[in-house]
Amino acid sequence: MTRPAGDEPVLFAEQGSSWWPALWAPIFAAVGVGVELTTGVVHWFQWVVIAVGLGGFGLIWASARRKVYKVELTTVTLTQGREQLPTEKIAAVTDVGAPTGAKILGGGWTAPRKTDEVPVRLDDGSVVIAWARDGEAFTEALRGLVEKDKPRPVE
């Protein structure tokens, strides 16, 4: 029985961006209006065009980053950007080397800037590179998920 998407507990998550970049242009325009108020004539139309136009570009930029740089680990899937990997395919996170040319999850030629690379061995023996800004917390969440299903040695 499969559960609907979004019903699984989230073990680790990072948003690709906040929505602040969409507010930079309106804030800049408000400061411009404030400066012009002290000098006399205010060019309202131009400031509105700047606030709406550049604010729109900020919305597009933030929305794109939220899709491309999203990291989410649930008990069922690992989402990196727009790519989803079923967690049942992850075989190991500990002591996995990163071979040259390993596939980067989420697409792209390299892991995104300012992220830590986390090599992951899949059940078919291949190694892929997962990534996150907080590499240690991401690795621990992955390790906890993968190793909880492995039988523990009896002492």
Same domain, 133 and 82: yes
Q: Which residues pair with 116 in a beta bridge?
A: 132
pLDDT at 150: 55
Structure tokens at 94: 């500990």
12 in Cβ contact with 72 (< 8 Å): yes
The domain boundary, picked from 68, 93, 108, lies at: 68
Q: What's the total number of domains in the chain?
A: 2
Same domain, 99 and 138: yes
Side chain identity at residue 112, one-letter code: P
Q: Tell me, yes or no, whether 86 lies in a domain.
A: yes
Same domain, 40 and 90: no
Q: What DSSP element (H or E) covers 85?
A: strand 83-86
Structure tokens at 99: 């071979």
Same domain, 84 and 124: yes
Of the candidates 78, 143, 69, 141, the one whose C-alpha atom is nearest the C-alpha of residue 110 is 69
Q: Is 0.85 surpassed by the pTM of this model?
A: no
Q: Range of 133's domain?
A: 78-148
The domain boundary, picked from 24, 40, 68, lies at: 68
* pLDDT tens, per residue, the chain with 155 residues: 344 455 788 899 999 888 998 999 999 999 999 999 999 899 999 999 999 999 999 999 999 989 999 999 998 999 999 899 999 999 888 888 888 888 999 888 888 889 999 999 999 989 999 999 998 999 999 998 888 755 444 45
pLDDT at 73: 93
Question: Alpha carbon of 97 to those of 93, 102, 108, 129, 130: distances in Å?
Answer: 9, 10, 20, 10, 12
Q: Tell me, yes or no, whether 35 lies in a domain.
A: yes
pLDDT at 4: 46
pLDDT at 96: 83
